[in-house]
Every structure is written in structure tokens, then in C-alpha cells.
């Protein structure tokens, strides 16, 4: 009798203390431990990965990007260019916002009007709307968009922003679109209105539930979703920015899934009965070389800038054993790169393999270029931005030293690294580029096109590589609306850079996700962690 009372009390205590028992993990709920947190729930406040991933649960775009960033119908069922500067989007019928109001072309126009009017936006979405010269809605489910010149990236760019409801924000009359300002839109909602949930009204599969900064973001299922029923009644994102605690939260069963588990923990996670899915990301890790300054700050032992000579650039590329870096430093969780975009994405060249490792040929080539004794070099690298970035730079340094280029690594924290890189302090630096648009013009335009403020070219070309042939090809691709033709031109442009060794791709990052048994997650090239892609297996 007494013993059973004790037992009873003990189990009661256990129930009270243990959250696992107190709230049995309902099969309808999903909790995700996220490595990064959005800075706001306003879909147009901050154009950054965590924000963009989070907004897709609530706010949808006319065009969606699938796991490989290929375009799919979203709120628009189809789109086509009517001529070089006019696009027609057919909008989905029978879609309603979370507040019940119907979705029409007016909502899209309202959204484009609001994007430049977000107060204090640290990084605004105007980059993706500035091509839009005019918008017309001949009927509620047809949208005509005009651009200044031929603009093939329009469908990609409309996939980057989510659509707001005009009615939910108090707009009942007609809206007139104008680049310098729209008419009839009234006051736009403030960023805080989204954070409190007041304005967080979209067409998405999930509705705003709760937002507590630093603690959790909760979404509820939208039962009236046009695309069918969501798999989870409640989705909770919990930001756990430190790696160890995030893994612990998964192992303890507090979260169902985590993103970016550290590579060294993958084995342990699998051994404990959890699952890992991983896929190629759109991010390439590359080495850029200063091809302008003479002498260049990080090179010693010569008065010249050796990287202006294509033979030196080629020698460096051949001296790097990319397979070894992938196998030993990246633990196999990466793929050697032969160009700036992974195979299978728009504009990549089938069969573009990575440079063969050949240290002997590299030495010979260096001697031919006038550096038989090599030279001294310092590589700049961040040490907390990309997966194992500083270790990769170290490995590259050892490989270059082996062929006679005495190399040291200057690895610093990302914020300092980027500042110094932008002041051209490095003769060679390691960095990464994720292609937001998922197609080849993104890395080409940013990394290797000649720096040109007016055209927006070469924004991240801190090696100041310049090749008029390449620039002409990029111009041509960006004025070709026909997808097949454009892809061919982009492949050709990529070939030009690679043959010229204008930049040296090292590897593509592979992104892992870890989750409990009973669910699956399809890896995404954009590295987004979306509850939309988490499926129960039974």
C-alpha cells in the first residue's frame, strides 16, 4: 500500500517535471530548431535568407522556386512574355487571404507599391522590383507588367517577394501604379504590424500564430489553403544559434528537426537513430585573385602582380587538390566545383568538371611565367562565415606552398574580413557566393563582370577581374527573353571565365538537415529550412 503510494507520487512528480510526458508530442505539431533567426516577420523588411525562408510560410509569391530553384507556378498559374518588354501573368482563381478576402491582381500591384516604402529597411527588395516600369490589371486575374528593356529575370525576381493583401490593409478603391509613387494605397502597414501579427495576412499554407523574438515563431495551419491541407497543425521555429545546443535539442527530443548540424556531429546524430538529409546548395566557395594592383599587398618576393598572368592563375588552380579538401576538411559534405553554379541549375554547363590536381604541371607553369622560385602570398579568409572556411584556406595554403608559393593564411571574423576585402587588402581571398536567383547570371554579374556602378555589375568583384568579352555576353544574356537561348549564352559566358581562370571555384557546399524518425525533408539548393517541405513518412 505504502509502496504504491510512493510510486504513484514519484510518477506524478515525473509527469510534472517532464515536459516530454506533460505535453505528449502530438503528431500534428512540428518544432524546428533553426540556426538563424529572421530580423522581422515583415516580408519586405530585410532581404536576407532567414527572413525570406520564414515569410514563405505566410506570404506567397506569384512564382515559386522549387528545391532546385527552378520556377514553378505559385499565385500565378502561368506567365509569358508578350513581347520583349511586356509580360503577362495569369493569376490563380479561388485563392483567398487568411482574413477571407479574395486574391486578385490588385494585391500584387499594392505589394509592388509598398516595397520601396518600408521604413528603415536594412536591405530592401527594390532590387527585385526596380525593373518594373508599369503594371496593369485588365481583369482581376490577369496582370500585365512592362519593363524598360528586355528583362528575362522578371519571373525569377517576382519569386523573391511575397504578396500582401490590399483589402486587409484597408485599401478598397482602385490603385494606380507609378514608379515615383502609387495612388490610392493609403498608409502602408509598418514592420511592427507584421511582428505583432496584425498585418501578417497572406495566402500561405500557414497563418501567423505567435512571435516572440529570440524565443519562438509559431505558425498555425491555414485550413482554407488553395493547394490542399498542410501536414502540420502547428509549426514552431525555435532559434538556437549555437551548434552544440541545437544538436542537443534534437537528441533530447525537444525539436523534431534542426538545420545546419555541424559536420563533426553527423555520425553521432545518425548513430542515435536520427536521420540526415543533405543536398547540393547554390553556394560556391571560391578564391578570387587581385588582378589590378601592382604591386599587390599580399604578395612578397616580386615587384609584379603575378595574378595578372593567366599562367599563374592556372598554376594555382592546378596546385589545389579539391578532392582532398572535400574528403578531409569537408568530411565529404561538399562537391568539387568546376564553375560558379552547381550542375543542374539554370546556366550551368553539363560536364563542367573541377580542375585536375597536377602539382608538377603547376610548378612548370609557374617557371614558365617567370616564377621558378615561386613567391610569397597571404590569403585572406573569414573564419566564421562558411563551413570550415579557415581550415579550407589553410589547406589551400599548404598546397600552394608545396608548388613553391609560400602561402600564409590571414583568417579573421566575417565582419572584419569583408571590410578589409572591400578595401582591396588581399591579393587572394577565399569567400562564397550563394546564387539567390538560382541561375548563372547571378554569380557572373556579381563576381566576375567588370565593376560598373551604373549597370550594377561586379558588386562583389573584389579581384577586379575584367574581360570585355564576358561583359558583352552577360549583357546579351540579360537582354534575351527566350529561356533556351539565354541558357546557351550563360553557359558560353561561364566557359569564358573558366578558360581565363578569372576566378577559381573550389567546391559547392552541401547543406545537411537532421531530423527524428517519422519525417522527411527534401534538401533545398537555397538552403532554406521550410516547414512546407517537412513531410510525415506514414
Cβ count within 10 A of residue 530: 18
Stretch of residues binding other proteins (CB under 8 A), selected from 44-52, 93-101, 482-490, 523-531? 44-52
Region 23-42 residues binding other proteins, contact defined as CB under 8 A: 23, 37, 39-40
Stretch that binds other proteins, among 212-220, 298-306, 387-395, 467-475 (CB under 8 A): 212-220
Nearer to other proteins among residue 442 and residue 511 (C-beta): 442
The residue among 57 and 246 lying less far from other proteins, judged by its C-beta, is: 246
Q: In the complex, what is the shortest distance from the CB of residue 39 to other proteins, in angstroms, rounded to a whole number?
A: 5
| Min CB(83)–other proteins separation in Å | 26
Stretch that binds other proteins, among 73-81, 120-128, 226-234, 352-360 (CB under 8 A): 120-128
Q: Is 411 in the site for other proteins (CB under 8 A)?
A: no
Q: How far apart are CA 332 and CA 380, in angstroms?
A: 24
Dist CA 521 CA 32 (whole Å): 12
191 binds other proteins (CB under 8 A): yes
The one segment of 171-179, 409-417, 497-505, 509-517 that binds other proteins by CB under 8 A: 409-417
Complete edge-to-edge strand list for the sheet that includes strand 132-139: 76-83, 86-91, 142-147, 132-139
Q: Which of 305, 442, 461, 480 binds other proteins (CB under 8 A)?
A: 442
Among the candidate windows 62-70, 293-301, 317-325, 412-420, which touches other proteins by CB under 8 A? 412-420
Element (H, E) at 21: helix 19-22
Instruction: Give the β-pairing of 234-239 and 257-259.
Output: unpaired
Q: Which is nearer to other proteins, 208 or 375 (CB)?
A: 208
Which has the closest alpha carbon to 288: 478, 472, 466, 493? 466
Q: Which of 178, 69, 207, 70 is nearest to 116 (CA)?
A: 178
Closest distance to other proteins from the beta carbon of 14 (Å): 8
Residue 238 within binding range of other proteins, rule CB under 8 A? yes
242 lines the binding site for other proteins (CB under 8 A)? yes
Secondary element (H or E) of residue 469: helix 468-477
Residues contacting other proteins: total by CB under 8 A:
62
Kindly state whether residue 240 participates in binding other proteins, applying the rule CB under 8 A. Answer: yes
Q: Which of residues 248-287 bind other proteins (CB under 8 A)?
A: 248-249, 251-254
Q: Residue 413 interacts with other proteins (CB under 8 A)? A: yes
Choose the stretch contacting other proteins; rule: CB under 8 A; options: 213-221, 333-341, 479-487, 522-530. Answer: 213-221
Q: How far is CA 525 from the centre of its chain?
A: 8
Query: What is each CA distance from 7 to 17, 21, 24, 153, 513, in whole angstroms?
Result: 15, 16, 21, 68, 41
Q: How far is the CB of 121 from other proteins (least distance, A)?
A: 8
Q: Give, as ranges, the residues between 88 and 117 that touch other proteins (CB under 8 A).
A: none
The residue within the footprint of other proteins, chosen from 78, 196, 415, 522 (CB under 8 A), is 415
CB of 414 to other proteins, least distance (A): 6
Q: Is 78 exposed, middle or buried (0-12, 13-18, 19+ CB in 10 A)?
A: exposed
- Cβ atoms within 10 A of the Cβ of 214, count? 8
Q: In the beta sheet, which residues pair with residue 376?
A: 300, 406
CB 155 within 8 A of CB 69: no
Q: Does 18 bind other proteins (CB under 8 A)?
A: yes
When the beta carbons of 99 and 272 are compared against other proteins, the nearer one is 272
- Beta carbons of 240 and 34 less than 8 angstroms apart: yes
Nearer to other proteins, 162 or 436 (CB): 436
The region of 168-176, 394-402, 413-421, 518-526 touching other proteins under the rule CB under 8 A is 413-421
Tell me the three state secondary structure of residue 176. strand
Rounded to a whole number of angstroms, the minimum distance from the CB of residue 338 to other proteins is 22
Cβ contact 519:268 at 8 Å: no
Strands 29-34 and 234-239: parallel
Cα Rg of the chain, angstroms: 26
* Candidate list 32, 43, 46, 405; residue touching other proteins; CB under 8 A: 46
Please select the residue that binds other proteins; options are 64, 68, 102, 127, rule is CB under 8 A.
127
CB of 438 to other proteins, least distance (A): 12
- Nearest approach in angstroms of CB 213 to other proteins is 7
> What separation, in Å, do the N-terminal and C-terminal C-alpha atoms of the chain show?
43
Rounded distance, CA 489 to CA 478, Å?
Answer: 9
CA–CA dist 207, 58 (Å, integer): 6
Query: How many Cβ atoms sit within 10 Å of the Cβ of residue 212?
Result: 9
Phi, psi torsion values for 71, nearest 5 degrees: -80, 140
Q: Which residues bind other proteins (CB under 8 A)?
A: 14, 16-20, 22-23, 37, 39-40, 45-48, 119-124, 126-128, 191-192, 212-216, 238-242, 244-246, 248-249, 251-254, 413-416, 418-419, 422, 433-434, 436-437, 442, 446, 453, 456, 459-460
Amino acid at each position: 500500500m505504502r509502496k504504491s503510494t510512493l510510486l504513484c507520487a514519484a510518477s506524478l512528480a515525473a509527469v510534472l517535471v517532464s515536459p516530454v510526458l506533460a505535453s505528449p508530442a502530438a503528431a500534428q505539431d512540428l518544432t524546428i530548431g533553426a540556426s538563424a533567426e529572421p530580423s522581422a516577420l515583415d516580408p519586405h523588411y530585410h532581404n536576407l535568407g532567414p527572413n525570406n525562408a520564414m515569410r514563405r510560410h505566410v506570404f506567397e509569391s506569384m512564382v515559386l522556386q522549387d528545391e532546385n530553384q527552378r520556377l514553378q507556378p505559385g499565385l500565378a498559374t502561368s506567365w509569358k512574355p508578350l513581347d520583349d518588354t511586356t509580360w503577362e501573368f495569369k493569376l490563380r482563381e479561388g485563392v483567398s487571404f487568411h482574413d477571407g478576402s479574395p486574391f486578385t491582381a490588385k494585391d500584387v500591384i499594392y505589394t509592388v507599391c509598398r516595397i520601396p516604402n518600408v521604413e528603415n529597411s536594412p536591405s530592401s527588395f527594390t532590387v527585385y522590383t526596380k525593373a518594373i516600369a508599369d503594371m496593369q490589371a485588365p481583369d482581376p486575374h490577369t496582370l500585365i507588367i512592362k519593363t524598360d528593356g528586355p528583362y528575362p529575370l522578371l519571373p525569377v525576381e517576382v519569386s523573391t517577394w511575397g504578396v500582401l493583401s490590399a483589402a486587409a490593409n484597408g485599401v478598397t478603391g482602385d490603385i494606380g501604379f507609378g514608379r515615383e509613387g502609387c495612388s490610392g494605397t493609403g498608409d502602408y502597414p509598418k514592420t511592427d504590424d507584421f511582428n505583432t501579427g496584425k498585418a501578417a495576412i497572406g495566402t500561405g499554407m500557414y497563418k501567423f500564430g505567435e512571435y516572440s523574438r529570440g524565443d519562438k515563431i509559431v505558425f498555425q495551419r491555414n485550413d482554407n489553403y488553395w493547394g490542399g491541407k498542410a501536414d502540420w497543425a502547428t509549426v514552431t521555429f525555435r532559434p538556437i544559434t549555437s551548434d552544440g545546443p541545437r544538436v542537443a535539442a534534437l537528441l533530447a527530443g525537444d525539436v523534431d528537426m534542426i538545420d545546419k548540424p555541424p559536420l563533426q556531429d553527423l555520425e553521432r546524430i545518425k548513430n542515435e537513430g536520427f536521420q540526415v538529409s543533405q543536398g547540393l546548395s547554390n553556394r560556391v566557395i571560391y578564391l578570387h585573385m587581385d588582378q589590378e594592383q601592382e604591386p599587390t599587398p599580399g604578395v612578397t618576393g616580386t615587384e609584379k602582380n603575378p595574378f595578372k598572368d593567366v599562367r599563374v592563375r592556372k598554376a594555382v588552380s592546378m596546385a589545389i587538390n579539391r578532392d582532398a579538401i572535400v574528403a578531409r576538411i569537408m568530411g565529404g559534405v561538399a562537391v568539387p566545383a568546376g564553375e560558379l553554379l552547381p550542375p543542374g541549375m539554370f546556366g550551368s554547363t553539363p560536364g563542367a568538371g573541377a580542375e585536375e590536381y597536377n602539382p608538377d604541371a603547376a610548378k612548370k607553369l609557374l617557371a614558365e611565367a617567370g616564377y621558378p622560385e615561386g613567391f610569397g602570398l597571404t590569403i585572406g579568409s573569414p573564419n566564421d562565415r562558411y563551413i570550415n572556411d579557415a581550415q579550407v584556406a589553410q589547406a589551400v595554403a599548404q598546397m600552394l606552398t608545396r608548388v613553391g608559393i609560400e602561402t600564409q593564411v590571414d583568417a579573421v571574423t566575417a565582419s572584419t574580413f569583408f571590410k578589409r576585402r572591400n578595401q582591396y587588402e588581399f591579393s587572394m581571398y577565399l569567400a562564397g557566393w550563394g546564387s539567390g536567383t538560382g541561375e548563372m547570371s547571378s554569380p557572373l554579374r556579381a563576381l566576375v563582370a567588370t565593376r560598373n556602378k551604373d549597370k550594377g555589375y561586379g558588386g562583389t568583384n573584389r579581384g577586379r577581374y575584367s574581360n570585355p568579352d564576358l561583359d558583352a555576353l552577360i549583357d546579351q544574356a540579360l537582354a534575351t527573353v527566350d529561356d533556351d537561348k539565354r541558357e546557351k549564352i550563360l553557359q558560353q559566358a561561364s566557359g569564358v571565365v573558366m578558360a581565363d581562370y578569372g576566378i577559381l571555384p573550389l567546391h559547392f557546399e552541401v547543406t545537411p538537415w537532421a531530423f527524428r524518425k517519422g519525417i522527411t525533408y527534401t534538401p533545398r539548393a537555397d538552403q532554406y529550412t521550410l516547414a512546407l517541405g517537412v513531410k510525415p513518412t506514414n
